[in-house]
């Protein structure tokens, strides 16, 4: 399965396609694999951690935005929202399509800012989805083993 999207890295736009062990950036192909928790890009290992609007690569943090990843199908009970609307509502949203590996909190649980609420696997990396502010989980919209889409509301914290 191929995935095409635009990635803005530190304000610079790139056309990206992920396909069958390759990542194609602005038409240039690189092999892509995962080994021992690191990405191998053209055979070179890189440690990658994804945040809501950042990517840390080999210890250096970059501002990122992704555009054009598949949105949830209408009528399937999933909801995509703008980042601004989600932040204002206290929602935690998926930063990219992936699989919920573990849900650590449930509705009614109190959380502190920075506390991990769930773990999302995306592009073969496990990403801790953390509360942006202290509050109580009012709505948990996902469960372990569920696939999610980019910008899907995972939970709401008030």
DSSP of 60-99, one letter per residue?
EEEEEEEESPPPPPTTSS--B--HHHHHHHTEEE-SSSEE
Q: Summarize the confidence of residues 6-12 as an average pLDDT.
A: 83
> What CATH topology corresponds to 3-67?
Glycoprotein, Type 4 Pilin (3.30.700)
The reply to whether domains 3-67 and 83-157 share a CATH topology is no
Domain spanning 83-157 has what CATH number? 2.40.50.100
pLDDT classification of 69: cutoffs 50, 70, 90: low
70 compared with 157, residue with greater pLDDT = 157
Q: Contact at 8 Å (CB) between 65 and 7?
A: yes
Query: Look-up: residue for tokens 């949830």?
Result: 72
Q: What pLDDT sits at residue 132?
A: 87
User: What does the domain layout of the chain look like in residue ranges?
Assistant: 3-67, 83-157
What pLDDT was estimated at residue 85?
A: 46
């Amino acid at each position: 399965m191929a995935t095409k999207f635009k990635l803005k890295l530190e304000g610079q736009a790139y056309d990206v396609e992920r396909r069958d062990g390759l990542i194609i950036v602005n038409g240039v192909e690189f092999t892509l694999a995962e080994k021992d928790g690191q990405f191998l890009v053209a055979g070179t290992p890189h440690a990658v951690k994804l945040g809501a609007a950042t990517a840390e690569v080999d210890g250096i943090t970059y501002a990122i935005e992704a555009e054009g990843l598949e949105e949830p199908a209408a009528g399937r009970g999933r909801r995509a929202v703008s980042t601004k609307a989600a932040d204002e509502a206290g929602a935690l949203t998926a930063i990219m399509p992936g699989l919920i590996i573990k849900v650590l909190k449930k509705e009614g649980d109190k959380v502190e800012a920075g506390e991990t609420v769930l773990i999302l696997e995306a592009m073969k990396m496990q990403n801790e989805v953390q509360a942006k502010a202290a509050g109580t989980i009012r709505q948990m919209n996902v469960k372990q083993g569920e696939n999610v889409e980019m910008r899907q509301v995972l939970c709401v914290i008030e």
